[in-house]
Each structure stands twice: as C-alpha cells, then as structure tokens.
C-alpha cells in the first residue's frame, strides 16, 4: 500500500510554498519522495522551508516567483526544468484576501471598492490558478502526464459572510478546475482541487482569536458549527495532497474537489 503514495523520482512545484498551508504541503510531497520546488516572493521564508525539507531527509529548492507575472513564472519553470529535467506535480497554493474586500457586520455591499475586488480575484484566480496552470500545464501537456492541484476554499462552495470577494474568487477556482479537468482528461493531465476549511494562519488569526488566545466571536461561531469542534492544522492536508498527486493512488480521479474541513460543510444547524 505504501507504494501507492511513493512519489520518488517525481518533481513537484508548490506555488505559495512559503506560506503555512503551502509549506506543509511542500513538506508532505518531499516526505513522499518528490523533489520539491518551493515558489514564492519571500526568499527568506522560502529558504527556511527548503531547510526544513532537507533536514527531514527530503530534496527541495527555492525559486523566486511572482504568481501574477507570466514572465516570472516562466523563468521559474525553466529553472526547475534546468535543475531537475522534469515537472510532474503542480500545487497552486498562492492566494489570500485583503481587508478592504471584506464586509464587516452592517457594511454596505454597494460600497465595496472595485479595486479591492479585482485584486482579490487577481491573487486567487489569475495568480492562484490561471497563469500557473497555463505555464506549468504547457510543460505537462508536452510530456502527456501531470497532476495539478488547485487550492480552493470551503468559502468557494458556500459563500461565507464578510469574505465576499474571496468566496467568489475561490468559487471561480473550482469552476476552472472542473473546466481544465474535462479539457485535459485525455491528454494525461489530472486537475483536482482541495478546499480547506478553517486553518488558522497569519491572514486570519486576528479574525479567529482574541489577543489572549481565546476564540473571538467569529471563531466561536465557526467552532460551534464544526462537528470536530476545532480548527485544522496544516499537517492535516499532507495525506490529501499526496493522494491527489500520486497517479497510483488517484489515477482515475479528476475534476474532484476534496474538502478538508472537520465537517463544517455538512452541518446545517
């Protein structure tokens, strides 16, 4: 059974691998035997992630890349091919939100700034899926083999309050995932998505916790709606990403959205 999840000899690219969730997935792919290219804009955090991978006995390297720049992504792709000679797995974990695209209680949706909306869409859809799928997907298509994993969100399935732009952008990521899965199914490329639930990270920690570490009102509501009564931790995405990356484990799966949310999405009351 362990052979199903053996990625030895394969090369995985994790865009957004400098972040908490992307970094945990990069470590998981390395632990399964893949050589992992950690892509991001923060060299210090990227090198730290590579160091963690190497200290655990894995193989990794950091490549500077801006998810919103085709030229930057192309340069990173070419550098990866020059280093390792192949490209098998792509994880698109870049994304995020911005405060002025979030509606606090009682806010007027009609006053939501268009610039903020556009930037959230650029970050999560254009840079978080579209451009990397085009640029790295081109290499996979030429080879006739590859697994692409887009990181969507629970909020892309059910529009959560306040994060309207982020929810809409992640819904678009799910739609693009299904489109590419259909288009590339006969070309050897599988395209799937992972929709994490609530995983505390830098960008949402203040929303979920008070300064003393207790749950905020919002955090408490989420915990009360989650059957497992807790938030997720990044390492709990490890098995999910390795499963979807492995052709032996999930070779007949494409266009799927795998939800990792502690049961939040199946709770109605």
Angle between helices 20-31 and 43-55 (to 10 degrees): 30
Which residues lie across from 189 on neighbouring strands? 146
Four-residue CA torsion sign, 249, 76, 78, 85:
negative
Q: Which two tokens stand for residue 156?
A: 């892309």
Rg (CA), the chain: 18
Which residues are annotated as catalytic? 166
The residues, ordered by sequence, that sit 6+ positions from 133 with a Cβ below 8 Å of its Cβ are: 90, 92, 148, 150, 176, 180, 191
Whole-number Å distance between alpha carbons of 160 and 220? 15
Work out the number of other CB atoms within 10 angstroms of the CB of residue 39: 33
């Amino acid at each position: 059974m362990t052979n199903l999840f053996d990625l030895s000899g394969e090369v995985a690219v994790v865009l957004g691998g400098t972040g908490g969730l992307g970094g945990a997935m990069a470590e998981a792919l390395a632990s399964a035997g893949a050589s992992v290219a950690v892509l991001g804009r923060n060299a210090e955090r990227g090198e730290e992630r590579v160091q963690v991978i190497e200290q655990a006995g894995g193989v990794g390297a950091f490549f500077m890349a801006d998810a919103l720049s085709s030229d930057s992504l192309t340069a990173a792709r070419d550098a990866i091919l020059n280093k390792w000679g192949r490209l098998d797995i792509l994880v698109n974990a870049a994304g995020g939100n911005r405060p002025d695209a979030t509606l606090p209680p009682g806010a007027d949706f009609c006053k939501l700034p268009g610039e903020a909306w556009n930037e959230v869409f650029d970050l999560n859809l254009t840079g978080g899926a579209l451009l990397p799928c085009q640029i790295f997907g081109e290499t996979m298509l030429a080879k006739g083999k590859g697994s692409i994993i887009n990181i969507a969100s629970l909020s892309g399935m059910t529009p959560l309050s306040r994060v309207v732009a982020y929810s809409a952008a992640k819904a678009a990521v799910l739609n693009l995932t299904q489109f590419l899965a259909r288009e590339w199914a006969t070309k050897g490329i599988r395209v799937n998505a992972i929709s994490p639930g609530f995983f505390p990270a830098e960008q949402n920690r203040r929303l979920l916790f008070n300064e003393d570490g207790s749950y905020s009102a919002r955090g408490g509501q989420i915990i009360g709606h989650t059957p497992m009564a807790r938030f997720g931790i990044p390492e709990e995405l490890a098995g999910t990403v390795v499963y979807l990356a492995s052709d032996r484990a999930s070779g007949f799966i494409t266009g799927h959205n795998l939800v990792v949310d502690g049961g939040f999405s199946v709770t109605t009351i």
